[in-house]
Structure 1
Amino acid sequence: MPGLRAGARLLRLCLVLALGVAMATLIAAGERLGLRASVERRQRWTRQFMQRLVRALPFNVRVQGELPQRPMLWVCNHVSWTDIPLLGMLTPLSFLSKAEVRHWPLAGWLAEKAGTLFIRRGGGDGQRLREQISGQLREQRPLLIFPEGTTTDGRTLRTFHGRLLAGAIDQGTPVQPVAIQYWRAGQPDPLAPFIGEDDLLSHLMRLFAQDRGEVVIQLLAPLHSAGKERAALAFQAQQAIHLALFGFEEVELRRVGKAA
């Protein structure tokens, strides 16, 4: 029965979240005692938490490509809040998130303790953000951003914001493009996208009441950033992900349409 299945899955999720709270509480207690955990340690703990969280989600996950062997700026299309644990389970990462997440009950606190960087959309703090991203990369800490700046339904790809890649150019850090897709019964998953005015609890109930979906994560060829203009680098990353998501023919059709 869908209701019982959803309830059982939610219970498992709550147990995983309780573990996350315990880990974040340990970090907070250490801070009060002057024992601040390093970003590297937070990243490792966050990855362990994300791995357990993904096992509680109703997805079968398939990863294609090779994990980078050096710190990079990861860029990915953005479909759902589940993108974060699905990508965070792969390797120790920090994340760039919208400022509103900091104020989400529990999730915001967990994100902050995990070392997430927060951005105010339209807040006029572009230079500060560039410095934050550049600082993370300078310290050889891999960072993941969603350069579209918002979620989509998984059937489209929005323009990538070049200003978010400026820090990689400053440090000469390679960019790791990642394409994430959600599938259900051979079609793009209509349940996974977290868009519009959807609320988290309603989204969870819809997701957990159905059979398991499939997630495909494609780790694409890294892009060199040194000496590039940020808009050109953003476009190159966007095109690589677009090609992985929708194939060569659609990319060519869009180019022809623009030329016309």
Structure 2
Amino acid sequence: MSRLRVYARIARVLVVVTLGLSMAGVFGLFERLGIAHSMARRQRWSRFFMARLANALPFRVTVHGELPQQPMLWVSNHVSWTDIPLLGMLTPLSFLSKAEVRTWPVAGWLAAKAGSLFIRRGSGDSQLIRKQMARHLQQAHPLLMFPEGTTTDGRSLRTFHGRLLSAAIDSQVKLQPVAIRYLRGGELDSLAPFIGDDDLLSHLMRLFGDERGDVEIHLLKPIACEGRERAALAFDAQQAVQKALFGAIPEQQQRPMRPAIAA
């Protein structure tokens, strides 16, 4: 692909980012003037921005399943930073993100203005975040988290951690499992994953230097949380995503059903 086309693609993304900065700037100005903006409005504007950013990315997106008609805690596997706009374009929602993102230039500011919740790993603030998540969900604001805690190469799943899934139990909402898969030429995409010591600029150059890839997003059957243990919820969500991405689950990876008990 010509270098000119690569630069044109990157320029398109930069135009969308400029739009996002303008939107976030307006929210920041209103905050200084003491004009409150509801989370629902922030989520709607975030979806507007994410949809345009997703359209600027070199992907063809296919969505399987139905969008939930009520607020849920979304849990998804995590492959790349592009997961965020691709999932964020589907419906108004907020994201649970690692605290480091808040310090990132541009992206961190945009995430904060969009209503993201931030967690510091190993800081002992999980109880506080759990309460913030529960309050968020109780106010009918959908929330998405990546329970693996990091990105993968898309060829396997890491363990889904159930620590923060208690927020769904506390707020009496369901889990919405989501499976996202990147393909290129019918095979798993090796360009889309954003892992290790990769930097964003190099990743963009590789991604935009190739032809369009394909993305499959599977909205799986919601999981009821009432009377469940958080570990059992995490396991069930991981199994659902595993099956959607890789097919039948080996018998040795399954576990016998146990009576559900309250968290």
2:127 aligns to what? Answer: 127
* Deviations 1:123-171, CA, capped at 9 Å, x for gaps: 1111111111111111111000000000000001011111121100111
TM-score normalized by the length of structure 1: 0.96
Within 1, Cα distance between the matches of 2:30 and 2:129? 27
Q: Which amino acid is 2:126 matched to?
A: G
Question: Could you list the per-position Cα deviations for residues 53-109 of structure 1 after superposition, in whole angstroms to 9, with x for gaps in the alignment?
Answer: 011000000000000000000000000000000000000000000111101110000
Partner amino acid, structure 2, of 1:202: S
How far did 1:234 drift? 0.6
Q: Partner letter of residue 153 of structure 1?
A: D
Q: Secondary structure at the match of 1:131?
A: helix
Residues 179, 245 of structure 1: 8 Å contact kept:
yes
* Equivalent position amino acid for 1:101 in 2: V
Aligned to 1:32: 32
1:216 equivalenced with 2:216 (yes/no): yes
How do 1:218-257 and structure 2 match up within 5 A?
218-248=218-248, 251-252=249-250, 254-255=252-253
For the 8 Å contact 1:75–1:147, the answer to whether it is kept is: yes
1:37 shift after superposition: 1.1
Aligned amino acid, residue 255 of structure 1: Q
Which one has a larger percent helix, Structure 1 or Structure 2? Answer: 1
- Aligned residue number for residue 193 of structure 1: 193
Conservation of the 8 A alpha-carbon contact between 1:63 and 1:217: yes
Q: Which residue of 1 aligns with 2:136?
A: 136
- The whole-number CA distance in structure 2 between the counterparts of 1:73 and 1:2 is 42
1:105-184 paired onto structure 2 within 5 Å: 105-184=105-184
**CA distance in 1 between partners of 2:43 and 2:171 (Å):** 21
TM score, norm. by length of structure 2: 0.95
Q: CA deviation at 1:254?
A: 4.8
How far did 1:30 drift? 0.3
Give 5+ residue unaligned stretches, structure 2.
255-263
> In 2, distance between residues paired with 1:255 and 1:166?
24
Structure 2 residue identity aligned to 1:10: I
Question: How many angstroms apart in 2 are the aligned matches of 1:216 and 1:2?
Answer: 27
- Say whether 1:101 aligns with 2:92: no
The structural deviation recorded for 1:2 is: 3.4
Equivalent-residue separation in structure 2 for 1:195 and 1:86 (angstroms): 18
Aligned to 2:259: none
My pick for the range that moved more, 85-94 or 130-139, is 130-139
Note if contact 1:2-1:210 (Cα within 8 Å) is conserved in structure 2. no
Residue 255 of structure 1: CA displacement?
A: 2.4
